[in-house]
Each structure stands twice: as C-alpha cells, then as structure tokens.
Structure 1
C-alpha cells in the first residue's frame, strides 16, 4: 500500500516561522512534523510514499531524499500552483495502486490508528473529537458512516471534525477529476467527499491520537506530547557537576558544561554548547548547533538550530527560529499579570502561559524585554534596552 502525503503548502498562519521553510518542516521534538507523520505510517507497515510538494520543496527533498534512511521509498510530485487539495491529489494519479492512505502533512497521528484504518474497506475518513470544531470541517455520523460535512461553521452541528486522514482506492480519481472550482477558487477534496457522502459510501474512523498544527502555539502542545514518550539517548559529553533529572536526549558533539541543571523531558540536538550554569526545564527542544549559556533559563520552548541564548536570558513557552542571538539579559515574558488567556494579534492561544514567536535571524541587544503574545519577524534587529510587543514585521529595525 502507498501513502500520499500532501506537503505543498506554506502555512501562512505559521508566519514568520515559515519564511524559510514549509510548514511541514517545522520542528517538533527536534524532528520535522512531516517526519513524525511518515514514521507513524512506516510503523503501520507502509513502505511506499508519495510526497506532493510545492512551497519550499527543496528543503523537503534534501532532507528526506529517496527515503532510504528510514527504510522506505519516497517519490515526489510537484504542485506548481496551490490550487487546492483535490488538485494536489490529482497529481498522484498513476502513482498509487489499489487502496492507499492520504494524509495532510501538517498533523501528527499514531501508528496504531493507521493500522486499524488500513484494515478497513475504502473509502474511509479519519475523524476526531475537539472542543473547537468551528475551526475545522465538521462532520456528522450515523451507523459508522459520514452523513454530513460542513467547512468551518460558526454553529457546528457536532464536535466531530474531519482529521485530514483518508483511506481511498482508485475510484477517488474519477471523482476528483469531475470536481470544479469552489467559491474560494480552488479544487477542493471536500467536493469529492460530498459525492461519496450523498451515496452513503464514506465510512468514519475515530482517531485516538490527532495533533493539529494550525498555529504556532500548537507546536508547543505537540512538542510536550511527543517529549512525554521520549526514549532518551545521550551521545554528547556531560561534564562533572551537571544534574540531569528525567528523560533527556543529548545529541552527538554536544557538551553540557558544569553547573548546568536539566529537567526532562527535553531534547538537545547535535553540536550544542550548554552552560555552564544553564537551567533547562521540561518540555524544551533545543536544535542542533545552539548555545545556551551561563544563567540562561529555558522552559517549555522550541529553539531552532544555530540560535545563541548565551547570558542571563529567560525564555518560557516560546518558539524561536534559527540563527537568532539574544543579548545578555534579554527576556521573553510568558504570563499576563492578571493570569488571563494570552492572545496573539487578537487571536486567542487558549493558553495562560505563552511567550513569543521569534522568526529566523533575529538579533537582540542587551536587556531587551519582550511581552507575552509578541511576534517578531525574521531578520529583525532589536536595539539594547528595547521593550517589544505586538506584531513586528520582517526586517524591522527597532531603536531603543
């Protein structure tokens, strides 16, 4: 059986993190979202993959190549224009045979759910229960069949949603070839699904595990979930005087210097320099070639490769891009004074603790303060002693 993964989109709601990488390549527990998804399918027994790529496709191709490193085979199809999910699937015609799995590339699912799904008769839609169905395609079910599908209704008819996981056979291709442009100007898979629903053909399969990656703060939830089942591997050098509690993975070439205190679960990449006297708290993922230095504290955050947080810094519940540098004393707040829910540009994160979203190659001067819910665009320069809040566009120069 083949598995088709749709990985052509940019992920505009993830900006500025997707400025230099496609959404599916954003790291969670130090591995791209797409890798977690592919590995789950491989563990379910699937060895042949078709990636539909587009935005940032070079990074995907360079990372996964032909799949040999994972003992699978990968073929690529390029969707030149983002013309919708039906158009993306149409590009794979002739590359699948019999039943095949189709998944959106921006989520995380479990191998056990995929095993059960693949044993069913096609067509099947994976569904999931959520407390905010208005953000997704809402489905209604009866006797194991999908009876209705409505996109992002403000008055949803149920709390079950389309999870973007499907089992199809070759009969799907004539249906998507017959789909016309939607009101949004795209060729949408949901129009083909509506035809199946009207014929009473589309079965439902509830997924036990489903993590959606719609917004940056969703990355933190997924990061916490995946780190909680971490099998620690320590390949780096740990000096005397380091304290490690819980599950902590340390990559090859990394040095953890004396006085550092690490509480798992957390993961530290390759060729990093940690400490001396750094404090890394649970839920933190530090990418390759990072420097976390003296008296710097990290908590429940994602730090992408080649970022330096070297002296007297604090980051909590934040996502930081690659190639950033934090001047001494720079701190990212993560709690409101009234302990209320934090919003980012008017949109609720649903979280009482959330720091900032920092793009790639952002340079902070010393003693900067960043307020909760702040977004800082890539390639920005923040002058010493600056107070930063709100939405900062890419390549902004902030003078104190």
Structure 2
C-alpha cells in the first residue's frame, strides 16, 4: 500500500511556531509530527511513502531522505496552496493501484491505520462531543453516505479523521474535483468514490488533529506517556531522575538537577545545576537550561536557552529563544477561567486552565520579565528588562 502524507500546509493557525518550520515538522516527543504519521503508516504495512511538500520542503526532505525505516520515500511538490486535493494531484504521477492518504499533522494509532488499509476503500472516523466544527460523517447501512462540512445539525457524532484509502480509479478524478470555492478538496474526490464504491467507515479510538499551539502541548503529553526510559547522555551522580525520562546521547545533566518524567531531553541539551524539570516536557537539541530554572509541561525547541532562575510552564517556545535571568511565565489566570490565545487575529479559548506563552523564533527577554498567560510573542521580539508582558507582541 502506498501512503501519501500531506505535509505541504503552512499551518497559519500554528503561527508564530510555523514562521520558519512547516507544521508537520514541529517536534512532538522527540520527533516531528510527520514522523509519527510515517511510523503509523509503516507499522500498518505501507511499502512506500509519498510526501507532498511545499512550504520549506527541504525540512521534510532532509529528515526523511530517500528511505525511512526501510521503506522507500518519494516527494511531490504542491506549487500552490489550493486545497487538499490539489496536494493529492501533485502526487498522482507517483501513484499506482489503491493508495492511502494521511494528514501529516494528525496523530494516528498504527493498529487502526492497519484496519483502514485492510478495509479499503475506507475513511477513518472519530467520535467527538461537538462535531459541528468538523466535517461530519453520515453513515448508511455500514457505508459512508456523505461528509457534511460544519453542519448546524450534525447527523452523527463521527467526524472525518483525515485518513483515507482510495481505489486506483480515484486518480482519474483528482484533476476534475473542484469545489464552489475553486479549491480542490479531498472530500470532493471522496464524494465521487462514494458514488461508485462502498466506502467503509473505520472508527478510530486514538486520534488527534494538531492544529493549534496548545494542541502541540496535548500531543506531547499524549506521546510522552508511551515512551520508555532511556538515559544515554552524561548524567551526574548527584542528579535525580524519576520515572520515565529520556536523555539522548550528547545531552548533559549537572548535579542537583531533579527530573520528574515523562521528560525528553534531546542531544546537545545542557541542564545546569539545581534545575527542576517536570512532565510532560520536551527539550530540543542544544537547549540550555540553567541554574535554579523550573520548566513544567512545555516544549522548548532547538537552540533556545532559559539560563538563570526562571520559570516556564505549559508553554511552547520557538527556535533560538533566550529568556533573560528571572523571566517568569504565568500559566494560570487568577479567575481560573480557560486561557485564551490569539489565532489568526482572534482570541480563542484553549480549553485549558493552564497555558503559558507561545513564542516564535529568535526572541530575547530582558532580566526579570513577567509574561502573562496566553501571550503570543512574534519572531524577533525584544523585551526590555523588568517588563510585564500582558499583550501579544
């Protein structure tokens, strides 16, 4: 089974994390989102991966190369952001026979993808409490009848989970499936398949659409639960590592450090004396955490530094960020209401009581900076010493 992985989206809802990184390459539990998708496909029996790339395509190519876990990898370039089926059209020359399509920014369970592969033509579905903001799946006599986008009165509580198996015939419909908006959508192709085939709904129990910064935290929390302890780096005898902790080869843990897993420390990271790391935290390559720093339930991306006497909780920190000494990130509102974050210019509830800061890349804060819950800092931001940051910058 060929598996097409859609990895060309710019991820505007993830900004500023996606300023310099395509969304499928954002890190979760030590590897990019797209790598977790590829793992699910390979474990399910895919014999070839076809990545559709666009924005920052070199990031995807450099990570996966021409082979991944012994499975051939090819690439198709989507020249324009004109809908999901346009991405599939870019891959059509690489396809032979029946094929699968998986979103590069969703998390799937490999056993459920294996069932999807076996039951094709098929569509993965997932039950949600409120399906009105999704493509809702209508099922008739055990087959997919249609997908209704964001209906006021959802026919079921099952949504489209962005996982498909199409028959070979579907390749002929890729170029002619056009929506009223002028965009090519995979659901338009699926509608053609439904007309000619019985499409099996495959209910997923474990699935996540990682579309917002706080969902990157949730994905990290979910996947770190399943990691195995592996301490390969240099760890002082005077450090205390509790529970499930990964310290990659090349990472350094100094005396007095306490780590309460699940925590993942990537190669080249340095954790200074008396730092305190709590789950679920991921520290990327070459991250520096200094003396007396506490980090809890956060993703700190490669090259960033939290050097001295700072606190960072429930946050996503971009590339090459430096927090000045004494920088404190608040992650809980005084009224304990859900924290709101700006997404594409609108304040949106995260559904989380605890949410700290979301930063772009190359940011510097001065000493004794205070950052309030839900603040978003754009790439390149500079904050003066002693500032209280209560609004996005």
In the superposition, the TM-score normalised over structure 1's length comes to 0.94
Q: Report the alpha carbon displacement of residue 42 of structure 1 after superposing the two structures with TM.
A: 1.0
Match for 1:257 among 249, 254, 257? 254
Q: Report the alpha carbon displacement of residue 196 of structure 1 after superposing the two structures with TM.
A: 3.2
Residues 256/12 of structure 1: CA separation in 2 closer, same or farther (3 Å cut): same
Partner of 1:398: none
Q: Report the alpha carbon displacement of residue 154 of structure 1 after superposing the two structures with TM.
A: 4.2
Partner of 1:175: 173
What's the secondary structure of 1:311's corresponding residue? Answer: coil
Match for 1:332 among 295, 318, 329? 329
Asked if 1:354 is matched to 2:342, the reply is no
Contact between 2:338 and 2:350, CA under 8 Å: does it hold in 1?
A: yes
Partner of 1:109: 108
What's the secondary structure of 1:294's corresponding residue? Answer: coil
Superposed CA offset, 1:220-276 (max 9, x none): 111011000111211111112111110100011111000000000110000111020
Partner of 2:3: 3
User: Where does the alignment leave 5 or more consecutive residues of structure 1 unmatched?
Assistant: 393-400
Q: Report the alpha carbon displacement of residue 156 of structure 1 after superposing the two structures with TM.
A: 2.8
Contact between 1:53 and 1:76, CA under 8 Å: does it hold in 2?
A: yes
Structure 1 residues 1-400: aligned runs within 5 Å: 1-68=1-68, 70-120=69-119, 122-180=120-178, 182-198=179-195, 201-345=198-342, 346-392=347-393
> In 1, distance between residues paired with 2:388 and 2:147?
46
Q: Report the alpha carbon displacement of residue 67 of structure 1 after superposing the two structures with TM.
A: 2.1
What's the secondary structure of 1:148's corresponding residue? Answer: strand
Superposed CA offset, 1:336-379 (max 9, x none): 10111111132110111111101111101000011111100011
CA RMSD of aligned residues (A): 1.3
Residues 301/106 of structure 1: CA separation in 2 closer, same or farther (3 Å cut): same
Size of the alignment, in residue pairs? Answer: 389
> In 1, distance between residues paired with 2:6 and 2:55?
11
> In 1, distance between residues paired with 2:221 and 2:97?
37
Contact between 2:9 and 2:81, CA under 8 Å: does it hold in 1?
A: yes
User: Where does the alignment leave 5 or more consecutive residues of structure 2 unmatched?
Assistant: none
Q: Report the alpha carbon displacement of residue 178 of structure 1 after superposing the two structures with TM.
A: 2.5
Contact between 2:121 and 2:197, CA under 8 Å: does it hold in 1?
A: no
> In 1, distance between residues paired with 2:152 and 2:289?
44
Superposed CA offset, 1:270-304 (max 9, x none): 01110200000010000010111111001110000
Partner of 1:397: none
What's the secondary structure of 1:91's corresponding residue? Answer: helix
Please, which moves more after superposition, 368-377 or 135-144?
135-144
Residues 324/225 of structure 1: CA separation in 2 closer, same or farther (3 Å cut): same
What's the secondary structure of 1:94's corresponding residue? Answer: helix
Residues 321/172 of structure 1: CA separation in 2 closer, same or farther (3 Å cut): same
> In 2, distance between residues paired with 1:254 and 1:308?
14
Contact between 2:170 and 2:193, CA under 8 Å: does it hold in 1?
A: no
Please, which moves more after superposition, 197-206 or 237-246?
197-206
Residues 391/185 of structure 1: CA separation in 2 closer, same or farther (3 Å cut): farther
